[in-house]
Amino acid sequence: MVLNSNPIHNVSGTMDCWTPQQTVEIMTLASIKKSRMSVAKCFVSSMYGGMLLSFGCTFVLAVNASPWFATNAPGVLALIRALVFPVGLIMIVLTGADLLTSNIMLMVIGVLRRKVTLWQLCVNWVVSFFGNLAGSLFFMAIIVHYGNIFHTPAQISATATFGNQKVLDPAWHEIFLRGIACNWLVCLAVILGTMSREVISKMAGIEFPTATFIACGFDHVVANFFFIPTAMWAGADFGVGYYIWKSLIPSLLGNIVGGGVFCGAGYWYLYVHDEEMPDYRGENVLEGAEVSELGGPTGLGPFKKDRENSEFTLRNGHHASMDQSRRPEEMV
């Protein structure tokens, strides 16, 4: 029995976007694609994710070197920082690079849909973590440090102060809670970008949730891969060990809760769990722009399968091989 023969490209109402349920399906397919990516490609893609996000971080630190605004109009400075930072996430989403914090949500959805194993989730998270870290440190050391981007006393002082405020001022549990809110917003930005069907809408959907987390001062573990080492280079009052304990660990754990629980598990429960799912058989949604963009490179590595026999179609939690020669209503 076919539950719904309407193809995935149908949208509800007059809005030109995917429905929330369709978006969860797209993210499920993206999680399958990421789980089958080779470790080498995942690492390189994650390096690009760290470097692209570092462009936005550099933009924030460049704007932040404004002593008058910092003293007399800190709210305006926070607004400017918030508006310029999302350029990094926009480039990541539109180019399909890997970001640990969005992968947290995607892989949790894949596991809950029983399309991704816990082992594949762990591999993806670990490789994304170190790939993002390597890309961020490369950008910080080569582009910013040796490129002498921040060379004036005002820039160096503002960068060190920014790091001190991120690491020294808040308590451990405060950074953890800020991490939850941060990745909740970042994953919402990815969801809205995925729901949108053309570039300007995608950019707008990513811009505003991301700007919110920057304006509120929430903690993003990958952004801090750039912010904190750059602050230490500028003379911040802490070392690597203190940064790992006081900032990296609580922000990482908070990001996992925010992205994995509040977005991944939450939207899986609302839109997929015990829900009647549309039948997408006959629609090669894996080749769609949204899945290709969100899923990243196509290297399948050790998980490579015959494309004609790949089980990418989803129907009530069951796999079904694609047959492009048959119409959806013929596939019972």
For 314-331, the pLDDT digits (tens) are 444 443 333 333 333 332
Closest CA to 34 of 296, 292, 264: 296
CB 107 within 8 A of CB 120: yes
CB 233 within 8 A of CB 241: no
Other C-beta atoms lying within 10 Å of the C-beta of residue 304:
11
CB 192 within 8 A of CB 93: no
Kindly report the average pLDDT of the chain as a whole number.
Answer: 84
Task: Please state, for a pLDDT cut of 90, what percent of the chain lies above it.
Answer: 69
Alpha helices in the chain, H assignment, sequence order: 20-35, 39-64, 67-72, 74-84, 87-95, 100-112, 118-138, 153-167, 172-195, 199-216, 221-233, 240-243, 249-256, 266-271, 289-295
Instruction: Specify the pLDDT at position 328.
Output: 30
Other C-beta atoms lying within 10 Å of the C-beta of residue 274:
5
266 pLDDT more than 80: yes
Task: Please state, for a pLDDT cut of 70, what percent of the chain lies above it.
Answer: 78
CB 125 within 8 A of CB 107: yes
4-16 average pLDDT score: 51
- DSSP character at residue 17: B
C-alpha span between 159 and 261 (Å, rounded)? 33
More confident residue, 279 or 7: 279
Say how many Å lie between the first and final Cα of the chain, rounded. 6
243-259 average pLDDT score: 97
Region class of 273: left (phi > 0), else alpha (psi between -120 and 50), else beta: beta
C-alpha span between 89 and 219 (Å, rounded)? 15
Residue range 27-75, pLDDT digits in tens = 999 999 999 999 999 999 999 999 999 999 999 999 988 888 878 888 8
Closest CA to 220 of 257, 189, 252: 252
**For residue 158, with 0-12 CB atoms within 10 Å meaning exposed, 13-18 middle and 19 or more buried, which class applies?**
buried
Other C-beta atoms lying within 10 Å of the C-beta of residue 119:
9
Other C-beta atoms lying within 10 Å of the C-beta of residue 204:
14
Instruction: Specify the pLDDT at position 314.
Output: 46
Confidence of residue 226 (pLDDT cuts 50, 70, 90): very high
Closest CA to 104 of 186, 176, 37: 186
228 pLDDT more than 60: yes
- Whose tokens are 């999302």? That residue is 86
Positive or negative: CA dihedral 233, 186, 312, 272: positive
Instruction: Specify the pLDDT at position 291.
Output: 61
Instruction: Specify the pLDDT at position 295.
Output: 64
294 pLDDT more than 90: no
119 pLDDT more than 80: yes
Residue range 165-216, pLDDT digits in tens = 999 999 999 999 999 999 999 999 999 999 998 999 999 999 999 999 999 9
Give SS3 for 290.
helix
